[in-house]
Structure 1
Amino acid sequence: MNKKEQVILGFRDLFNKMVWLNKIKMEDCLKGYKPSEVHCIEYIGRNADSNVTKLAESFYMTRSAISKITKKLIEKGLIESYQKPDNKKEIYFRLTEQGKIIDKIHEELHKEFQERDKAVFDQVTGEQYDSMLSFIEKYSRHLDVEIKKQGIDIQSE
């Protein structure tokens, strides 16, 4: 196995371990909420004037999939929709008080996970972070180009 393959497999294995380990606590603390719902709540809580298109772009999902999730979140009383007075066409989302509670629980869990993993991250130098971030940015830009080459338009699917 060459180094490129080791890096890709290493990222995948690392990501899978992190998801598996975090999932146990997340499911316990956020019973009744799917990960996609919680991540939509997080995005809406952090981004003013969130709408279906912005959510779809952020999560690499179709607008119709996001519409289904936001409809469920509205039904559960976690988000509400609104329109701006100058734009009656576009629908935006914001968190309700109940949505803010779920967002806060999720945020606290992330802090707990960061604290759990602090021993590793404290050993990483600024130069190492810069190198990793540079690689991630380059690879992400490459994948964006490949997505465009495929003619994939996430919003229209």
Structure 2
Amino acid sequence: MNKRSERLDELLDVFDKGYSLCAQYDEIPHQYGEEVLYQSEMHFLQAVGNTGDITITTISQQLGKTTSACSQMVRKLKKKNLIEQRRNEKNNREYYLNLTPKGKEIYLAHEKLDHKCIQRTKEVLDEFNDEELEIYIRIQKQLNETFQKDVQENGALVTLKAVN
């Protein structure tokens, strides 16, 4: 194996390790006061808290989830008294989502935690100059394009297998 191939293998191994750590973090339940939430729940709360008067359809588009999955999340978060639904007066089939006072409290606590994590990450990355960061961004964008093609191709294969 040549040096370039070894370097690319190392890059992908480091990427895989980072992905694995992010996946592990997302699977860990987080404590917000007395409430325990998973990242998927918190991301949903963030979408509601960032916008307010948002619909399930809009959230599903923002989060890249099905409306069915988002409807299930709404039921779960309503049961925890974190979000509330209000019927759209102009369209009876549509509901607006908003945070409850308890939901707002958790949303704000998470925003503080998020800010702290982002600051820590920025401090760690301060050792890199702008040119190095630009190179990383270019590399990651290229990898993302490749990953997107993998998803599209493998999604098509899964669909074809399901049809046959």
Is this a same-fold pair by TM over 0.5? Answer: yes
Matches of 2:76 and 2:117 in 1, distance apart?
28
Report the equivalent of 2:106: 102
Report the equivalent of 1:44: 48
Task: Tell me the matched-pair count.
Answer: 152
Change in CA separation of 1:131 and 1:81 when aligned onto 2, cut-off 3 Å = farther
Shift of 1:103: 0.9
Task: Please list the CA deviations of residues 128-151 of structure 1 after superposition, one character each: whole Å capped at 9, or x if unmatched.
Answer: 333333333343344445544534
Matches of 1:147 and 1:23 in 2, distance apart?
21
- For structure 2, list consecutive stretches of 5 or more residues without a partner in the other structure: 160-164
Percent of counterpart pairs with the same letter? 22
From 122, 127, 134, the equivalent of 2:126 is 122
Q: Which has the larger radius of gyration?
A: 2
Matches within 5 A, 1:6-25: 6-17=10-21
- For structure 1, list consecutive stretches of 5 or more residues without a partner in the other structure: none
* 1:68 counterpart = 2:72: yes
Matches of 1:66 and 1:81 in 2, distance apart?
13
Task: Please list the CA deviations of residues 14-73 of structure 1 after superposition, one character each: whole Å capped at 9, or x if unmatched.
Answer: 24335657987x724464222211111012212355333333344443332221111111
- Over the aligned positions, Cα root-mean-square deviation in angstroms equals 3.3
Task: Please list the CA deviations of residues 61-118 of structure 1 after superposition, one character each: whole Å capped at 9, or x if unmatched.
Answer: 3332221111111121111123433333333322222111111111111222233334
State TM-score, norm by structure 2: 0.69
Greater relative CO (CA pairs within 8 A, separation 6+): 1
From 140, 144, 151, the equivalent of 1:140 is 144
Shift of 1:119: 3.2
Corresponding letter in the other structure for 2:40: S
State TM-score, norm by structure 1: 0.72
